[in-house]
């Protein structure tokens, strides 16, 4: 039986990093299960879930720690499979508007007040096609608990959208 491990990695972006990580995992008897990776500001950043073959967990952890000698920062945690809370409903929230400080903070605060867990979040700042103004976009996949009134959550998000002058869309999955 495999032992699941979650690994975060960050370091200066360069060609061959994914291959280096993948070959390290394979050589130590690991199984690459899932990952999210990207280049943020010239830094390669990634989160992986890896299965360690039975009896080879320590070998895999040691091999992954050795990646630090190649200029990467590594954090390793055992993955117990638990999540941030009971999920009654899944929804996707999208926010788009002129960039300004605090957009994610306001939205995250609304989620926390209602007990909503963020399962996946991505954001980017880009230039508007005509004006060149900075446009900020956030997409969040959230897990809504049974005791959360979805209409009240929507209302909270609409108030934030009006206050920050951003557009918010809410879709139940």
DSSP-assigned letters across all residues of 37-79: EEEETTEEEEEEEEEEPTT-HHHHHHHHHGGGGGT-EEEEEE-
What is the average pLDDT score of the chain? 94
Q: What is the pLDDT of residue 80?
A: 79
- In the chain, % of residues over pLDDT 70: 98
Between CA 121 and CA 161, with CA 93 as vertex, the angle to 5 degrees is 110
Cα Rg of the chain, angstroms: 20
Instruction: Tell me: pLDDT of 147 over 70.
Output: yes
Backbone angles phi, psi at 83, to 5 degrees: -115, -175
pLDDT digits (tens, 9 = 90+) for 1-52: 889 999 999 999 999 999 999 999 999 999 999 999 999 999 999 999 999 9
Q: What is the pLDDT of residue 173?
A: 82
Model confidence pLDDT, tens digit, residues 79-89: 877 666 678 89
pLDDT of residue 68: 97
Provide the pLDDT for residue 82: 67
**Token digits of residue 168:** 């918010």
Taken in order of first residue, the domains within the chain and their CATH numbers are 3-78 (3.30.70.260), 89-172 (3.30.70.260)
The DSSP call for residue 156 is: H
Residue 86 is predicted with a pLDDT of: 76
Give phi and psi for 165, each to the nearest 5.
55, 55
Question: Is pLDDT above 70 for 152?
Answer: yes
- Report the pLDDT averaged over residues 113-119: 96
Q: Under a CB-based contact definition with an 8 Å cutoff, are residues 50 and 57 in contact?
A: no
Please state the pTM of the whole predicted model. Answer: 0.83
Average pLDDT over residues 74-96: 87
Residue 85: per-residue pLDDT: 67
Mean pLDDT of 121-149: 94
User: Is the pLDDT confidence value at 160 over 90?
Assistant: yes
End-to-end CA distance of the chain: 33
């Amino acid at each position: 039986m495999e032992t699941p491990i979650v690994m975060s990695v960050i370091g200066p972006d360069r060609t061959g990093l994914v291959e280096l990580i993948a070959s390290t995992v394979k050589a130590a008897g690991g199984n690459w299960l899932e990952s999210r990776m990207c280049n943020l500001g010239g830094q390669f950043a990634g989160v992986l879930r890896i299965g360690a073959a039975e009896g080879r967990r320590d070998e895999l952890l040691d091999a992954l720690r050795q990646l630090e000698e190649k200029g990467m920062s590594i954090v390793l945690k055992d993955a117990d499979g638990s999540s941030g809370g009971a999920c009654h409903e899944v929804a996707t929230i999208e926010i788009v508007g002129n960039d300004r400080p605090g957009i994610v903070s306001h939205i995250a605060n609304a989620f926390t007040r209602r007990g909503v867990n963020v399962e996946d979040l991505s954001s980017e700042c880009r230039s508007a096609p005509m004006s060149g103004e900075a446009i900020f976009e956030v997409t969040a996949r959230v897990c809504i608990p049974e005791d959360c009134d979805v209409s009240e959550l929507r209302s909270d998000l609409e108030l934030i959208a009006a206050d920050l002058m951003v557009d918010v869309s809410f879709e139940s999955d």
